[in-house]
């Protein structure tokens, strides 16, 4: 389960809408994960901040988090006693479901992968674990649980 602070949730939606027609991307910051993080559905992860990153690909079809933005987000999180726990990106014309590219390139099985779809009139946000090429949707809740 992924618990999103309201500000983080709104930041992701506004970033996705503002970046349209290009894909938006950024990092998820939360407390250091405890327990076996590589098991889908293990515990509740809390996102306290969503940090915007530049999409180095500047594309409507693919995204690449600019590595310098990843580095800065990692440093900020470290200084706050937190950790990068995932990544978000938008799909401008397809569902909030990890594509084969997303699955093939998922960098970290302990991470949470948030998708924001702009394909419908209202944005749709979903979260997944991606472990060994297998995607599993997880519940998303707003606020602290």
Site size with other proteins, rule: CB under 8 A = 37
Q: Smaller CB distance to other proteins: residue 6 or 79? A: 79
20 binds other proteins (CB under 8 A): no
List the one residue from 10, 17, 58, 71 that touches other proteins (CB under 8 A): 71
Work out how close the CB of 37 gets to other proteins at its nearest, in angstroms, rounded to a whole number. Answer: 8
Cα–Cα nearest to 89, from 121, 64, 120, 109? 64
136 binds other proteins (CB under 8 A): no
Rounded to whole angstroms, what are the CA distances from 100 to 83, 123, 128? 26, 21, 13
- Burial category of 143 from C-beta neighbours within 10 Å (exposed 0-12, middle 13-18, buried 19 and up): exposed
First to last CA, the chain: 10
Q: Tokens for 126?
A: 């979903």
β pairing state of 82-91 and 25-31? antiparallel
x/- letters, 83..122, toward other proteins (CB under 8 A): xx--x-x-xxxx---xxxxx--xxxxxxx-----------
Contact residues for other proteins, defined by CB under 8 A: 23, 25, 27, 57, 59-65, 67-68, 70-71, 74, 78, 83-84, 87, 89, 91-94, 98-102, 105-111
């Amino acid at each position: 389960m992924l618990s999103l602070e309201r500000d983080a949730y709104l930041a992701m939606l506004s970033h996705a809408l503002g970046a349209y027609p290009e894909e938006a991307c950024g990092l998820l910051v939360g407390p250091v994960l405890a327990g076996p993080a590589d098991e889908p559905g293990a515990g509740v992860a809390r996102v306290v901040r969503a940090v915007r990153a530049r999409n180095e690909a500047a594309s409507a079809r693919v995204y690449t988090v600019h590595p310098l933005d990843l580095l800065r987000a990692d440093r900020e999180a470290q200084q706050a006693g937190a950790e990068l726990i995932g990544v978000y990106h938008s799909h401008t014309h397809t569902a909030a479901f990890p594509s084969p590219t997303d699955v093939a390139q998922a960098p970290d099985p302990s991470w949470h992968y948030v998708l924001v779809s702009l394909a419908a009139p209202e944005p749709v946000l979903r979260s997944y674990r991606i472990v060994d090429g297998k995607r599993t949707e997880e519940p998303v809740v707003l606020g602290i649980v």
